Amino acid sequence: MTDAEAATRAIVDIFAKGDLDGVSSGVADDYVDHQGLGDIEVRGPDGFRQVVEAVHTYSDVRVTIEDIVAAQDKAAVRLRWHGIDPSGRTVTRETLDLLRFVESRLVEHWGAQLFRRES
C-alpha cells in the first residue's frame, strides 16, 4: 500500500466516522477543496471539518471505497455514500475524487458526483 493510499483510507475513515478530531492530523493547514461545499469556499482543517459536519447531518452514514488508484502523492478514488437525510429519505450517491497529499496530509481535493438516488 502506498502512502497516498493509506492517507486516502484515513480521510475516508474520517468521513465515515465523523471523526472531527482526526482532521487536524490528516488535513494540512493550506488544504484547498476545489469542489467546495455549495457556494462555500473550503480551505484548511476548519473548512474540511465543515464538510464532515455537513455529511453527518444525515444519519446512518456509510462511506465505502469502491475503487482506488494511488501513486506518489495522489490518489483517485470512487466512493459510494449512503445516508438518511433529515426528512427520512435514504440517499445513495457515488463520487469520483482526486486527492493530493504532502507528508501524508491532505492538501488538495477535486471531486465530481456521478449519481444521486433518493428513496
Burial class (CB in 10 A: 0-12, 13-18, 19+), 23: buried
Per-residue model confidence as pLDDT tens digits over 60-98:
999 999 999 999 999 999 999 999 999 999 999 999 999
Q: Which residues pair with 109 in a beta bridge?
A: 33, 99
CATH architecture of the domain 3-118 equals Roll (3.10)
Using CA atoms, how far apart are residues 16 and 4, in angstroms rounded to an integer? 18
Looking at residues 23-43, what average pLDDT do you find? 92
| Alpha carbon 39 to chain centroid, angstroms | 17
pTM assigned to the model: 0.93
Confidence class of residue 114 from pLDDT cuts 50, 70 and 90? confident
The domains of the chain are located at 3-118
Whole-number percent of the chain with pLDDT over 90: 87
Looking at residues 22-27, what average pLDDT do you find? 96
CA dihedral 88, 9, 7, 114 (to 10 degrees): -60
